[in-house]
Structure 1
Amino acid sequence: MPVVAWGPTAFIIDRIEAVESPSFSSGRAVFRTTTPVVMKASGMDDSGVRTTRQAWCLPGEPEWDVYVEGNLRRKAETLGLDRDVTLDRVTWAGPKRSFAVGSANGPGGKKPGACVEVSLSGSPQTLSALHSWGLGQANSAGMGWVSL
């Protein structure tokens, strides 16, 4: 296919080159994203009452680590891989950035996120797949892409 339409943008394809994910044979990986990672939180207050449906969280905020780790495990399970993957720590976080996104049901809104560098551990096959998939939510929209 010589042209790929991504929203209102058309990309002309001159060449495609497959890039293999690293093997992560040690069972440990460091991922640094080139685009912000977006992650929804619970939207609950300290008493456990849900106050909002659109509770975005950023690296360093209380729920971020738990929700990112759960997201990684769901991705592994979706692919039929070992879901025992652990977010060991966030080693760097960039500034908050927000992006306007469209919606099939209306005007959409903004998704806030931040580029991050994280240390992960898990099976080599799972880490390799996650490297290709990305971190956080909205990966198909360009969020949370891991650099090579």
Structure 2
Amino acid sequence: MSRIAACLLAALASRKEIRWGSVTLSVKGIRLDDFADHAGGVAVFETVSPVLVKHEDLYLLPEDPHFQERLTHNIRHKADVLGLPGEVEVEVLDSGPRRRFDLSKGFRIGATARIRVAAAPKLLDALREWGLGLSTVEGFGWVR
């Protein structure tokens, strides 16, 4: 993986901008994040975008009663999809303010969070890359 990252880093470092679909993005700097060691089976994830979690068609915030339960369910589902062990413990350590996002498909409500997750090391690695909660493909729940 580090060889692939090094090639991408070298290619992007020589660019002043990149096109992402119909959007032109300015490249202001490039850096490779340090590798996170999850061998101990515990990680503290800090999200850079709001984590989306739903219960009975309502979006929950990290301080809401069912948030940890539903996030645990979401992580177990991701483990199942990846064929990884699904034993997970989740603890919300801190959260940011409530944010509402209006999208073409409706709205989303969530908050950034700092969350402690105990799970298999491979699942923790996957969560760092995949993100936490729902709609990660839309940019929600991305981990720093």
Q: TM-score range with shorter-chain normalisation?
A: 0.7 to 0.9
Letter in 1 for 2:38: F
2:98 aligned with 1:82:
no
Shift of 1:125: 0.8
Question: Percent same amino acid at aligned positions?
Answer: 31
**In 1, Cα distance between the equivalents of 2:59 and 2:75?**
17
- Runs of at least 5 residues in structure 2 that lack an aligned partner in the other structure: 1-17
Kept in 2, the 8 Å contact 1:133–1:145? The answer is yes
Shift of 1:55: 1.1
Map 1:53-132 to 2 at 5 A: 54-87=57-90, 89-102=91-104, 108-132=105-129
TM-score normalised over the length of structure 1: 0.76
What is the count of residue pairs matched by the alignment?
Answer: 128
Deviations 1:25-59 (A, max 9, x none): 110100000000111112xxxxxxxxxxx311111
Q: Which range moved further: 132-141 or 74-83?
A: 74-83
Equivalent residue for 2:50, pick from 12, 29, 36: 36
- Runs of at least 5 residues in structure 1 that lack an aligned partner in the other structure: 43-53, 103-107
TM-score normalised over the length of structure 2: 0.78
Shift of 1:85: 1.8
- What residue in structure 2 maps to residue 4 of structure 1? 20
Kept in 2, the 8 Å contact 1:21–1:128? The answer is no
**In 1, Cα distance between the equivalents of 2:75 and 2:34?**
20
**In 1, Cα distance between the equivalents of 2:28 and 2:95?**
34
Shift of 1:14: 9.9
**In 1, Cα distance between the equivalents of 2:76 and 2:25?**
33
**In 2, Cα distance between the equivalents of 1:115 and 1:29?**
16
**In 2, Cα distance between the equivalents of 1:58 and 1:70?**
15
Deviations 1:82-125 (A, max 9, x none): 111221x11101100011112xxxxx221010000011101111
Kept in 2, the 8 Å contact 1:21–1:132? The answer is no
Q: State the superposition RMSD in angstroms.
A: 2.3
